[in-house]
Amino acid sequence: MKSIELTPDISTMKVEVPVTNEAYMVLICEGKAKLIKLPENGETRIVMHQKKIKRHLNTEGEEF
């Protein structure tokens, strides 16, 4: 997980990600942003509490 700096008075942001075939997700909450690499196989859950992101959970799996 990589933190991204946000400029509060500008409505755009620039995210630099490596050029790969991997999937990424950007989470933004309360003026903070984080870049998260998604697993190849599995699911990602976002846990919220009172309209705030508390954590993200990755569950990896493979087809049997």
**Full domain range(s) for residue 23:** 2-60
* Integer Cα distance of 19 and 42 in angstroms: 22
Per-residue pLDDT, 64 = 72
Query: What are residue 10's phi and psi, to 5 degrees?
Result: -120, 135
Per-residue pLDDT, 21 = 85
Buried b / exposed e along 16-54 (16+ C-beta atoms within 10 A): eeeeeeeeeeeeeeeeebeeebeeeeeeeeeeeeeeeee
Enter the tokens of residue 42: 């599995």
Q: What is the pLDDT along the chain (64 residues), one digit of tens a residue?
A: 677 777 666 667 777 777 888 888 888 888 888 888 888 888 889 999 998 999 888 888 777 7
pTM over 0.85: no
Per-residue pLDDT, 54 = 92
Structural domain tally of the chain?
1
